[in-house]
Structure 1
Amino acid sequence: MGVIRIKPLIIILILIFLFMILSSDVFAQKKILVLHSYHQGLEWTDQISEGIRSVFPYNDKVKIFYEYLDAKRNYSEKYYDKLISLYREKAKIINFDVIIVSDNAAFNFILEYGEELYPKTPIVFCGVNNFNSNFLVNKEDICGIVENADHRKIIDLILKLHPNLNELIIINDQTLTGKNIQEELKVVLKDYKNKIEYEIWDTFTLNDLQNRLISLDQNDVIYLLVFNRDRAGNFISYNQGIDIIKSVSKNPIYGAWDFYLGKGILGGKLISAQAQGKEAALMAKKIINGQQDFREKIVFDKGSNFYFDYLELKKYNITENDLPAGSRIVNQPDSFFKKNNRYLLWGLAFLIFIILILIIIYYLKNKEKEKLDKLNLELEQKVKQRTRELEKMTITDELTDLFNRRHILDLLEIEIKKASRYNRNLSVIMIDIDFFKKVNDNHGHQFGDKVLKILSDILQQNTRNIDFVGRYGGEEFLIILPETDLDQAYLVAEKLRKTVKETQISGLESGITISCGAAQFEDDLGHQLIKRADDLLYKAKAKGRDRVEI
């Protein structure tokens, strides 16, 4: 019985084992070799890798292996002999499902050694210049993107934007890529034989190049192709190359590749390494998925759009209206909305959130609206009333209800600024009650307070709406008279003196008198103006009181 029960379990385990073996090829990780012509760190190469990674992000289904021929910095036969020996050993280790090669050096390498190293492995190429269909004779499993810079449209653009063109200076090098691009360009230049003058600079040292650039005519235009190696064999990065040219030349520079954009070229119909890498990766993806049709296997990349640098356009007085339709511009100043887009979106989101909250609150509290409105109105009225009271307390004298000393001095500073700015008259009157101490001593301080209130009423009733009356301290008062000269101030002070003297005060047989000092603003400071008026006040007291001094 035990044996009979065990047999079904063994059968199931054998079936699972066979299924795993049979399906291992289906679930196996796909391996892609990316063979670059140049070295890691070169912007063109890194951008191709970035385009490939956009299609094959890091995951367990596809593993990408990168190899670099470093052909811009190492190009001797001895180097290549050692390199092929190295790759013969490496090829024994891993079998690849597809190989992506970038640029001419890797393309030529795979055409020569691909069948030996990676037999029957599909090939996808990109960045290949000066392509000849004969390259693919008897090559079945190969497809890719031909890099074919649109020199014709770029030259036509230069002629349009620079009608006074003197000579077109074409800067190129003697690398494999440079030679292939130059062959393509020579075909195009035949059509411009009698239309433009041009020179091709392709053999030079860095010093030679800089000396030649310095001597350019101001109407010459530079067309920068490949500039990665000089005659002495020195490697030159894209950034170094454009910096060398810009450091000595004021002439506009055009290009055909986007790795120069934003670094000094004015513009051009630019080819993108990243776009080529992405397109090659999409072809590779179809291959590993069994979808690639090799009958339509070659794509020509002439650059999708015209690109320009706003800073360079501005430097050479070229407007957007002069550019081809659909041109794209980098380094363009951001509009307000673009610059603050993030904050505006957050603000909008916050506003929508607040609106939703308000709608919810309105819905929930609708029945209590009238009660809340009434309470809010009462509260608002109380707050306003209390605010007015507090404001009044901060600027008025509690006893006389006139402006207090601090506020009357603040008002004086304001009026002095107006008088200075608009060249207007301004006068002040300092007033003091004569023998007020006797009033307090004989009748008490409460009676003295009554006298101060009576005098305050007289001062307010006998001055204009534009005048300011304040209690300066004790029994002293200060009156500010805007748009009033000294003679007019004297008349006001004299009128006040007489009115006070004629006023009968219950409890005082002889009433009270005041002494006044009036002074006119003469471009002095507030405290200086008050001092002059105060000095005149004491002069009036010295002369017997009950008088006005000016």
Structure 2
Amino acid sequence: MGGSARTRTHARAAVFWVLLAACLFPAQSHAARHACHHILLVSSYSTRLQWSADICESVRENIYADDYCAEITTEYMDTKRYTSDEHYQSLTRMFERKYTGVHFDLIITADDNAARFVLGLRKRLFPGVPMVFCGVNDLDMGKKFDLSNTTGVYEEVDLAMTVAVIMTQNPDVETIYVVNDRTTTGLANKDQLDAVMMEFKNRVRFRMLQDLSMEEMLHALSDLPQKSAVLLLSFVQDRLGESFTFRQSIGLFRSVCKRPMYGVWDFYLGKGIVGGMITSASVQGQKAAEMALRILGGESASSIPMLRKSPNQYMFDYNELQHFGIADHFVPQSSVIINEPQSFWRTHFRLVMWGSITIVVLLSLIMFLSIAVMARRKAESELERINASLEELVAERTDELHHRSMELEGANAKLQKLDELKTSLMNTVSHDLRTPLTSILGFALLIRKELSKFCTGTCADACELPGMRRVFSNMDIIIKEAERLSRLINDFLDMSRLDAGRMPWQDREIDPVKLAADAIEAYSGAFSENADVELIAEISETLPPIVADYDRLRQVLANLLANAKRFTNKGTVTLRVREQDGYVLFAVADTGTGIPDDELELVFDKFHQATDNTLRDNLTGKGSGMGLAISRSIVKHYGGRIWADHNPGGGAVIMFTIPARRA
């Protein structure tokens, strides 16, 4: 009995001190929290490049450290692969569409292209927003852009120090082969290398391996003389325009090159280079994040000096040093060595340290609990007071949450009312447009008919005049565009009805075979206009019935066939219908231009249009951007699914399912 009482006493004391710590320390943490900030992070490249991924990850890690409240929106420009003016124009339009009217507390850019792009847009799209750049090679950027309210970290590779360490670690070297490309970074590297080559011209020869295809580069690296070394600068795009990730290029080079390779960036370290005076993406991101936190803390960006001296350091790969027999005394002091075998103490230092700390903490806890037992009565009284205080706080927070909930419900009701007003407006405008459009189309057809009668009579010769032929051509254009506008208005009406949940559904039992056959028959005439495109039907002979609105499913098939025809200049468009897992599967496949990977989901969004240059150049007509969105809403209404994929034979395939009627 005595042991049990002592156990309960210890337990109550422990609870008291745990609750007391929970009340005190969170209060300090809460007081230290910052207001949540909105940050736009723009990277010049994509996550395919390790450098780009490392910079962005470092920025996020350092900003989110210590639970700093920030919302970081990241945009990857992918300008290594896409360098055309059209790509930059597309990026500009995307930024204007996404961020017009959006407020950011800070913009961070990674590498030159992103910095130039944002500086060009900032005045009209992000006025007054401070900016921090990192990874910028262009030391004269201030002469080209207004850098007020801007600070950052320049990326200046130290080629001279790297060349010096090459010669130190390879005393017999006579020629250094320099691997480089003609990207923005590559050209900046070449400018710096020119000065370094002049500095070392009497000590070593330099040979440029540039403007080569990957095959030519690999051949050159595989046949280097004995007294030589390689300086790898940048090779992400070869002479033929083919792009490579850093990991791909260094892997290929290392597989054929028998001489030591050196570099100036950390993404090559550990992948095949010996080392050098290394520029680190993580350090660039860390320094930029530190500047960003100072700005968010209240400092002006203009008051923070730009870091023009890149924070580089000597780094080497132990495995490569051993492979080429480079002695330890040739490695500069304070160098960072990766992959170096560790002693037991160095390997398990953290484990031993934390074990010792744990023992000390446990001993302190035992002493702490002993003192707590002596203060039990006072602790119980204090605990009751704290409980009462906590209950008051909970009641206050509950009332506040209830008030906020009522506010949100009111705001939601207003939004629903605005949505209803939008739908009503679309219906009214569409109906008002349809009436005069019907008259225009009717009169145009009537005029065309009367002119045809006139030209079949005694005035047939007059109709062969150029002026009369132009009249006939113009009438055909009016009729064609009026019919297109009529379809567009119908799409608007269908979309507004679907959004408002007011679409009239005439559900009945449908034979999928007949539905598909009717769609093929109705659209065969449209395909006869182009002899290079063949419409094919692959329909199972027996299919289970489905229950749906016949006209709406015909509308879905018409939209898919029209899309396939629009994007196919030559080849086939195939409608396939079969049963699959309790559903009837409809698929429309074409051999046209296909759909880019990043647009397979976007094609079903409202008003989406093809963005790829190849797609735009191969369009045989322009749609409204609503057909697939309407189709998705119809299919989802009947519990089906619609999706797009690549056609194994080239082109695209769009599929949807409708549940089969159970017997």
2:64 to 57, 82, 85: 57
- What's 2:92 paired with? 84
Q: Is the 8 A contact 2:151 2:301 kept in 1?
A: no
Q: How big is the shift at 1:42?
A: 2.2
Q: Deviations over 1:191-230 (max 9, x none)?
A: 1222210012221111100111122102211111111111
Kindly indicate whether residue 150 of structure 2 is the aligned counterpart of residue 156 of structure 1: no
Kindly indicate whether residue 220 of structure 2 is the aligned counterpart of residue 251 of structure 1: no
Please give the alpha-carbon distance, in whole angstroms, between the structure 1 residues aligned to 2:319 and 2:94: 47
Please give the alpha-carbon distance, in whole angstroms, between the structure 2 residues aligned to 1:295 and 1:339: 43
How does the TM-score come out when normalised to structure 1? 0.56
Q: How do 1:17-416 and structure 2 match up within 5 A?
A: 29-57=36-64, 61-132=69-140, 134-135=142-143, 138-292=146-300, 294-341=302-349
Indicate the larger mover: 61-70 or 282-291.
282-291
Q: Which amino acid aligns with 2:41?
A: V
Please give the alpha-carbon distance, in whole angstroms, between the structure 1 residues aligned to 2:99 and 2:303: 28
Q: How big is the shift at 1:163?
A: 1.5
Q: Is the 8 A contact 1:227 1:236 kept in 2?
A: yes
Structure 2: 5+ residue stretches without partners: 1-32, 365-663
Q: In percent, how many aligned pairs have the same letter?
A: 32
CA change 1:129–1:350 in 2 (3 A) is: closer
CA change 1:60–1:129 in 2 (3 A) is: closer
Please give the alpha-carbon distance, in whole angstroms, between the structure 2 residues aligned to 1:34 and 1:299: 19
Please give the alpha-carbon distance, in whole angstroms, between the structure 2 residues aligned to 1:348 and 1:96: 46
Q: Which amino acid aligns with 1:192?
A: F
Q: How big is the shift at 1:40?
A: 2.3
Q: What count of residue pairs does the alignment treat as equivalent?
A: 333
Q: Which amino acid aligns with 1:43?
A: Q
Q: How big is the shift at 1:350?
A: 9.8
Please give the alpha-carbon distance, in whole angstroms, between the structure 1 residues aligned to 2:209 and 2:297: 46
Q: Deviations over 1:380-423 (max 9, x none)?
A: xxxxxxxxxxxxxxxxxxxxxxxxxxxxxxxxxxxxxxxxxxxx
What SS is found at the alignment partner of 1:71? Answer: coil
What SS is found at the alignment partner of 2:47? Answer: coil
Runs of 4 or more consecutive aligned structure 1 residues displaced over 6 Å after TM superposition: 346-356
What SS is found at the alignment partner of 1:333? Answer: coil
Q: How do 1:459-498 and structure 2 match up within 5 A?
A: none
CA change 1:27–1:347 in 2 (3 A) is: closer
Q: Which amino acid aligns with 1:99?
A: I
What SS is found at the alignment partner of 2:307? Answer: strand
Aligned-CA RMSD value: 2.8
- What's 1:478 paired with? none
- What's 2:578 paired with? none
Larger Rg: 1
Q: How do 1:441-456 and structure 2 match up within 5 A?
A: none
Q: Which amino acid aligns with 1:288?
A: L
Q: Deviations over 1:83-140 (max 9, x none)?
A: 1111111121411111001101101112322212211211111001131154366431
CA change 1:314–1:57 in 2 (3 A) is: same
CA change 1:86–1:336 in 2 (3 A) is: same
What SS is found at the alignment partner of 2:64? Answer: coil
- What's 2:567 paired with? none
Q: Which amino acid aligns with 1:289?
A: G
CA change 1:202–1:303 in 2 (3 A) is: farther
Q: Deviations over 1:214-266 (max 9, x none)?
A: 22102211111111111111111111111111111111011111111111110
Q: Which amino acid aligns with 1:120?
A: G
Please give the alpha-carbon distance, in whole angstroms, between the structure 2 residues aligned to 1:32 and 1:303: 24
Q: Deviations over 1:511-535 (max 9, x none)?
A: xxxxxxxxxxxxxxxxxxxxxxxxx
Q: Which amino acid aligns with 2:131?
A: I
Please give the alpha-carbon distance, in whole angstroms, between the structure 2 residues aligned to 1:332 and 1:110: 42
How does the TM-score come out when normalised to structure 2? 0.47
- What's 2:383 paired with? none
Q: Deviations over 1:487-520 (max 9, x none)?
A: xxxxxxxxxxxxxxxxxxxxxxxxxxxxxxxxxx
Please give the alpha-carbon distance, in whole angstroms, between the structure 2 residues aligned to 1:99 and 1:351: 46
Please give the alpha-carbon distance, in whole angstroms, between the structure 2 residues aligned to 1:267 and 1:282: 27
Please give the alpha-carbon distance, in whole angstroms, between the structure 2 residues aligned to 1:352 and 1:61: 34
Q: Deviations over 1:297-339 (max 9, x none)?
A: 3102434321111111111211221111111211111113233
Indicate the larger mover: 133-142 or 320-329.
133-142
Please give the alpha-carbon distance, in whole angstroms, between the structure 2 residues aligned to 1:77 and 1:307: 38
Please give the alpha-carbon distance, in whole angstroms, between the structure 2 residues aligned to 1:247 and 1:57: 39
Highest RCO, 1 vs 2 (Cα 8 Å, sep ≥ 6): 1
Please give the alpha-carbon distance, in whole angstroms, between the structure 2 residues aligned to 1:340 and 1:36: 38
Q: Is the 8 A contact 1:130 1:181 kept in 2?
A: no
Q: How big is the shift at 1:345?
A: 5.7
Q: Is the 8 A contact 1:149 1:303 kept in 2?
A: no
